[in-house]
Amino acid sequence: MAQGRRQPQRTCLGCREVKEQGSLIRFVRSPDGEILADLKGRLPGRGAYLCNRRDCIDAALRRKQFDRAFRQSCQPVTAEQLAGGVAGELLAYLVSLLGMARKSAKFVSGSNAVLDALTRKGSLAVVVLARDISPQIGEKVRRKAAMQKIVTTDLLDKAELGRILGRAERSVVGLPDGKLAEAFLKELLRYQDISGEC
């Protein structure tokens, strides 16, 4: 039986562990020396790689590993700024995935519709709650989702969720099982790791 192609291996600048390239964040140096996160791996230039962890960012900056990897000096940056930039890009990607769900009509929105979907086993893979959802409704949705071991997360606010979905304010959105939900969950974990949010 033919095995799938193995991903190239790269070394994290922080912890120095060798890992599959796809599990690390790629960074490039801009012409003016700025360190840029390249989440999609499409920016030109030499790449440097880090685990999706704050301690690896701290270690790489403390030991000036970016200067060594790019073989020239980079603009000064703090670990907080670098982690914040990565978190911002990951959040933007999560928003774009919700936009894709809208275009493909692969979502359930509104508290009643999501609660109804949560009564049917296997109908949803992830539930996104607005940060400003009412505590009572939020608790009810989380409890029902937990009974089916469905991941829940608080992202954005009602107005932002509604805008992404082309509707009025939305307090909760559910994504059905499938490739879109898988991609969302993968990026959500990366976002939570780097941002420290749950």
For 124-160, the pLDDT digits (tens) are 999 999 999 999 999 999 999 999 999 999 989 999 9
What is the CATH number that goes with domain 93-195? 3.30.1330.30
Instruction: Delimit the CATH 3.30.1230.10 region(s) of the chain.
Output: 9-77
Distance of alpha carbon 102 from alpha carbon 86, whole angstroms = 25
Positive/negative CA dihedral, 157, 95, 9, 77: negative
Read off the pTM.
0.84
Count of Cβ atoms closer than 10 Å to residue 168 Cβ = 10
What pLDDT is stored for residue 1 in this prediction? 43
Distance of alpha carbon 125 from alpha carbon 9, whole angstroms = 31
Distance of alpha carbon 42 from alpha carbon 65, whole angstroms = 22
Instruction: Delimit the CATH 3.30.1330.30 region(s) of the chain.
Output: 93-195
Confidence of residue 98 (pLDDT cuts 50, 70, 90): very high
CATH 3.30.1230.10 for domain 9-77: yes
How high is the mean pLDDT of the chain?
A: 92
What pLDDT is stored for residue 59 in this prediction? 95
